[in-house]
Chains A and B, each alone.
Chain A
Amino acid sequence: MSESEMAVHGHGALLEESPYAIPSRKLTMWLFIISDAVTFGAFLFAYGYIRVSAANWTRPFESGSVVNVIVMTVVLITSSLTMLGAVDASKEGDKAKAMRFLYSTMALGALFASLHLREWFALFGRHITLSSGLFGQTFFTITGLHLLHVICGVIAIFVVSKMYASGRLSAGYVENTGLYWHFVDLVWMFVVPLVYLTNFAH
Chain B
Amino acid sequence: MSAAGSSGNVIRKYLPVYFILLAIFLVEVFLSFQHFATGTLVVVLLLLAICSATLGLMYFMHLADERRGLLLTLIPVTIFVLLMMNMFWSDSVRLLHMRPGAQ
Would you call A45 and B86 a contact (CB within 8 A)?
yes
A19 at the interface (CB under 8 A from B): yes
**How many angstroms between the C-alpha atoms of A21 and B74 in the bound complex?**
15
Minimal Cβ-Cβ distance residue in A for B31: A197
Chain B residues 5 to 46 lying within 8 A of chain A, measured CB to CB, are 6-8, 10-11, 14-15, 18, 21-22, 25-26, 28-29, 31-33, 35, 38-39, 41-42, 45-46
Q: What are 14 contact pairs spanning A and B, CB under 8 A?
A: A30-B74, A49-B89, A49-B90, A51-B38, A53-B97, A66-B29, A70-B29, A77-B18, A85-B10, A94-B7, A97-B3, A97-B7, A182-B61, A190-B53
**How many angstroms between the C-alpha atoms of A42 and B4 in the bound complex?**
42
Residues of chain B within 8 A (CB-CB) of A45 are 82, 85-86, 89
Interface residues of B (CB under 8 A from A): 3-4, 6-8, 10-11, 14-15, 18, 21-22, 25-26, 28-29, 31-33, 35, 38-39, 41-42, 45-46, 48-49, 52-53, 56-57, 60-61, 66-67, 69-70, 73-74, 77-78, 81-82, 85-86, 89-90, 92-93, 96-97
A108 at the interface (CB under 8 A from B): no
**How many angstroms between the C-alpha atoms of A186 and B61 in the bound complex?**
10
Using A41-B82, A84-B10, A94-B7 as known contacts, say yes or no to A194 and B46 having CB atoms under 8 A apart: yes
**How many angstroms between the C-alpha atoms of A3 and B7 in the bound complex?**
46
Would you call A89 and B7 a contact (CB within 8 A)?
yes
Looking at chain A's contact residues, the main secondary structure is helix
Would you call A81 and B18 a contact (CB within 8 A)?
yes
Most chain B C-beta atoms within 10 Å of own C-beta, residue among A19, A70, A73, A77:
A77
A7 at the interface (CB under 8 A from B): no
Residues of chain A within 8 A (CB-CB) of B39 are 52
Would you call B45 and A194 a contact (CB within 8 A)?
yes
Q: Which of B18, B29, B89, B90 contacts A197 (CB 8 A)?
A: B29
**How many angstroms between the C-alpha atoms of A79 and B95 in the bound complex?**
41
Q: Which of A21, A52, A53, A185 contacts B56 (CB 8 A)?
A: A185
A168 to chain B, nearest CB (A): 21
Residues of chain A within 8 A (CB-CB) of B49 are 189-190, 192-194
A173 to chain B, nearest CB (A): 16
Would you call B53 and A189 a contact (CB within 8 A)?
yes
Would you call B38 and A198 a contact (CB within 8 A)?
yes
Residues of chain A within 8 A (CB-CB) of B92 are 46, 49
Minimal Cβ-Cβ distance residue in B for A53: B93
Residues of chain B within 8 A (CB-CB) of A46 are 89, 92
**How many angstroms between the C-alpha atoms of A38 and B75 in the bound complex?**
11
B45 to chain A, nearest CB (A): 4
Would you call A50 and B93 a contact (CB within 8 A)?
yes
Residues of chain A within 8 A (CB-CB) of B15 are 81
Would you call A38 and B25 a contact (CB within 8 A)?
no
A179 at the interface (CB under 8 A from B): yes
Minimal Cβ-Cβ distance residue in A for B82: A41
